[in-house]
Structure 1
Amino acid sequence: MKIERLQALDPAARTALTATGAVILTGLPNVPDSLPMASALLFGTSLRELYPHRTRKSVDGGVVGLHADSFDVVVDIAGKPVRRRHPDEDHVLVLLNSQAPQGGQSFVLDAHEFTDSLDAELKDFLTGADVDLYGRWAPTRGLPATPRVGRHVEYTRTGRRITRRTDGVVPLHRDPDADHVLSMLARFDAEVDRVQRTLPRIRLDEGEILVLDNYRCWHGRDAHTGSRTVHIQTVRTDDA
């Protein structure tokens, strides 16, 4: 997929994001505050929820495989439940703050197109099998105790497709089809690993923001040497 580089103030940026599921924004300061600014410029009054930005610094980091940004985190602040992440965040913005001396290129996949290309058995699993989306992370503090049950491919009530990818997926508790689910998950992982090796690499410049339709596109990055820092913002819009 071809990802355009456009000025953040260019109205064509929203059109490009809608058309391909991804766009690279330029022209904003290389600071975390540029993330909510970019969100406002892109989505305007359709911006519904903006979650706390996260800074990720890695030193001699390994490969981060293809994934969609989603998590289910609720914390208690002064006795009030506050949602810090949402399972159905529909866009993610990644600002490259400092580039690694070597490696660290990004890659992006149109997940709708990819999963549509899989064999019938895998497609039936992804669209028809309920799984626990974050069960592998159950001990993590802040995650709700109730399992988050869903399917890899679902649709919102407005008809928008969600194609999920998370390494937290496990079979439902005492699922009689658990062995089949595990087999399908292993096959799915193998197909994702295969396509990941073929994707073109994108070397962001410092200060550039990679914006992704989180329902449609998965992303990752190559291993790198030295230090690399990104700032990340996830949002929900009216389309979610």
Structure 2
Amino acid sequence: MPIRTAHPQAPASGAALGIVPARVEATDAADAARARALLDRDGAVLLAGLAPTADALVVAAALALGDRLRRLFPVRRRTSRDADPVHLHADSFDLTVDVGGVPTRRRDPDEDHVLVQCVRPSDSGGASFVADAYRFVDECAAADPELWTFLTTADVDLYGAWAGLRGLPATPRVGRHVEYTRTGRRIVRRTDGAVPLHRDPEADHVRAMLARLDERVRETERTLPRFAVAPGEILLLDNYRCWHGRDGHPGDREVRILTLRSADAR
């Protein structure tokens, strides 16, 4: 059983964990090489200079990932009005549908990159923020060893909170918040769907740790640097390394989202 600590240290500041992605004009091979280098270095990059269309997301994915690109999932269009914040998260889901009698995967638990295109920004608010989840976990090792042990060793049902959704597999998707691909690439998950495994004797502890993770993440989120994404620009993220979100906003806002798997995915 994990050792329980009553008074964990304060979390790292948002300034230390925050990523403000560099902007790159994504129009030629040299730009593509620079975007790839920045993505590898920082975990996030802003791609500018592309047409404000759904096709541009596919072009951006190819420019930045090149022959590492393996599978694209359907583009999702998201509109919001007078919206609450979207808190820090990593995109992932496990959704398969039947299309003409053929099982078709629309989302994947191991989407390792995500692209978010600004279609229409809100008139005010709605600023984006990105956190380095690798650094968050590393600093938990000293600041909150109990939470670090939970994140790196405890199995949870990653999407159990959404078990009633059609298309979600009946078999629970069991995993840890921190895992590794077979090539050694680290995955740091962040989903609102995580719940204890069925009849887990440590279920109360798991719930307490999930609540503590939420608290830590919200504390970090409040002090992260904010940045704006202009219409047509695309925020490209290493979804294994980075968590992202946005502030609440009045009025209307619209984005397109593309998730994918690369050759480096699990």
TM tier relative to shorter chain: over 0.9
- Measured against aligned partners, the alpha-carbon deviations of 1:82-133 in whole angstroms (never above 9, x if no partner) come to 0000000000000000010110000000001011111111110000000000
Residue 2 of structure 1: how far off its partner (Å): 3.6
Give the one of 107, 111, 118 matched to 1:85: 107
Give the one of 147, 172, 176 matched to 1:147: 172
**1:38 corresponds to:** 60
Give the one of 166, 184, 191 matched to 2:209: 184
Aligned partner of residue 36 in structure 2, secondary structure: helix
Which amino acid counterpart does residue 21 of structure 2 have in structure 1? I
**2:5 corresponds to:** none
d(CA) in 2 for partners of 1:19 and 1:38? 18
Residue 21 of structure 1: how far off its partner (Å): 0.1
Identity of paired residues, percent?
61
Residue 7 of structure 1: how far off its partner (Å): 1.0
- Which residues in structure 2 correspond to 1:14-163 (within 5 Å)? 14-118=36-140, 119-163=144-188
Aligned partner of residue 170 in structure 1, secondary structure: coil
C-alpha contact 2:20 2:227 (8 A) present in aligned 1? no
Root mean square deviation, CA, Å: 0.6
Which amino acid counterpart does residue 187 of structure 1 have in structure 2? R
1:8 is aligned to 2:30: no
Aligned partner of residue 142 in structure 1, secondary structure: coil
d(CA) in 1 for partners of 2:20 and 2:118? 19
- Measured against aligned partners, the alpha-carbon deviations of 1:164-204 in whole angstroms (never above 9, x if no partner) come to 00000000000000001011111111000100001000111
Residue 8 of structure 1: how far off its partner (Å): 1.3
Structure-2-length-normalised TM-score: 0.89
Structure-1-length-normalised TM-score: 0.99
d(CA) in 2 for partners of 1:204 and 1:198? 19
d(CA) in 1 for partners of 2:70 and 2:196? 32
**1:165 corresponds to:** 190
Which amino acid counterpart does residue 44 of structure 2 have in structure 1? A
Following TM superposition, the consecutive aligned residue runs of length 4 or more in structure 1 with deviations greater than 4 angstroms are none
C-alpha contact 2:112 2:260 (8 A) present in aligned 1? yes
d(CA) in 2 for partners of 1:111 and 1:45? 26
Which stretch of structure 1 is more off in the superposition, 128-137 or 112-121? 112-121
Residue 3 of structure 1: how far off its partner (Å): 1.3
Which amino acid counterpart does residue 219 of structure 1 have in structure 2? H
- Which residues in structure 2 correspond to 1:214-229 (within 5 Å)? 214-229=239-254
**1:213 corresponds to:** 238
Which amino acid counterpart does residue 15 of structure 1 have in structure 2? A
Which amino acid counterpart does residue 166 of structure 2 have in structure 1? R
Aligned partner of residue 169 in structure 1, secondary structure: coil
C-alpha contact 2:111 2:259 (8 A) present in aligned 1? yes
Residue segments in structure 2 that go unaligned for 5+ positions in a row: 1-18
- Which residues in structure 2 correspond to 1:224-239 (within 5 Å)? 224-239=249-264
Count how many residue pairs are aligned between Structure 1 and Structure 2. 240
